[in-house]
Amino acid sequence: MSSAAATGDSWQPAQYHRFQQERQAPFFDLLALLQAVPGGRVVDLGCGTGELSHILHQRLEAAETLGIDNSAEMLAEARSTVDGLTFREGDIGGFDEPGAWDVVAANASLQWVPDHATVLARWTGSLRPGGQLAVQMPANVDHASHRLSSEVALDPEFAAAFEASGGPPPADPVLSVLRPEQYAVLLDELGFVDQHVRLQVYGHHLASTAEVVEWVKGTSLTRFRRRLPPDVYETFVNRYRQRLLAELGDHHPYFYAFKRILLWGRLA
């Protein structure tokens, strides 16, 4: 599972996987919340290149696991090497297959779709009785790595380039992420008799502060890359890097404190 849920041709698997080990740590914490479903059906929403879908399929002892993502670039890297695991292109926000699945999982992907209350209700409706929902997503929209990219996008030359490409700069998708307690209330309202919701800080030791730029180039900055001409995007990234180093300092190494929400629920 991955954050590869954005549209367009902006996703670059090699860039995303530059920090593969760091990105996978929250997945294993999410996996630890799930109970095995021997012979069951599991759907992995936002599966990306599919490596973690294999682990999900095997650890949960599922008979069938389906990975869905709407990035053709990521899915082109997905290869099933075990029976029962398949992949398909699709919109995770609109996923709606009533009463069909034992587990609906979404690792670092829900943040890419708006209206989480509606989406989670739709996903819950796709569960069988006793089914489990498991979601992990970033909650660090207040960090300089997110805030400054949105600010740079409003600089006149970039704002003009965005308007020329069809409208204002795209908003940060992580703005859609709710507070942890709001997800706890939602799970209760949706009928989950057991639940676990937590905010966790993951500390990543990067080689330097500038490595944060490489991190977000694989995720958050993809929304800008999709809209800007290549030369303008390169100028944008350089401006963003300068602002980021000016605010955070040019540290070697740099400790990147990254907040995430993990939630799990089980229906009666």
Q: Are 95 and 127 in contact (CB under 8 A)?
A: no
Q: Using H for helix, E for strand and C for coil, what is the string for 185-246?
A: HHHHHCCEEEEEEEEEEEEEEECCCCHHHHHHHCCCCHHHHCCCCHHHHHHHHHHHHHHHHH
What DSSP state is assigned to residue 59? H
Q: What is the pLDDT of residues 134-150, one digit of tens each?
A: 999 999 999 999 999 99
pLDDT of residue 242: 98
Q: What is the pLDDT of residues 34-79, one digit of tens each?
A: 999 999 999 999 999 999 999 999 999 999 999 999 988 889 988 8
Mean pLDDT of the 192-218 span: 96
Residue 127 has pLDDT above 90, yes or no: yes
Lowest mean pLDDT among 73-77, 113-117, 118-122, 168-172: 73-77
Lowest mean pLDDT among 16-25, 149-158, 177-186: 16-25
pLDDT of residue 146: 96
Domain ranges of the chain: 1-139+177-205+257-268, 141-172+208-252
How high is the mean pLDDT of the chain? 93
189: Cβ–Cβ under 8 A, 6 or more apart, which residues?
none
Residue 29 has pLDDT above 50, yes or no: yes
In this structure, the chain runs to a length of 268
pLDDT of residue 83: 95
How far apart CA 166 and CA 188 sit, in angstroms, is 40
pLDDT of residue 9: 43
Residue 219 has pLDDT above 80, yes or no: yes
pLDDT of residue 2: 42
Residue 165 has pLDDT above 90, yes or no: yes
Lowest mean pLDDT among 5-19, 46-60, 114-128: 5-19
pLDDT interval class at 12 (50, 70, 90): low
220: Cβ–Cβ under 8 A, 6 or more apart, which residues?
145, 146, 149, 172, 173, 174
For domain 1-139+177-205+257-268, the question of CATH label 3.40.50.150 is answered with yes
Mean pLDDT of the 89-97 span: 97
pLDDT of residue 80: 85
Q: pTM of the full predicted structure?
A: 0.91
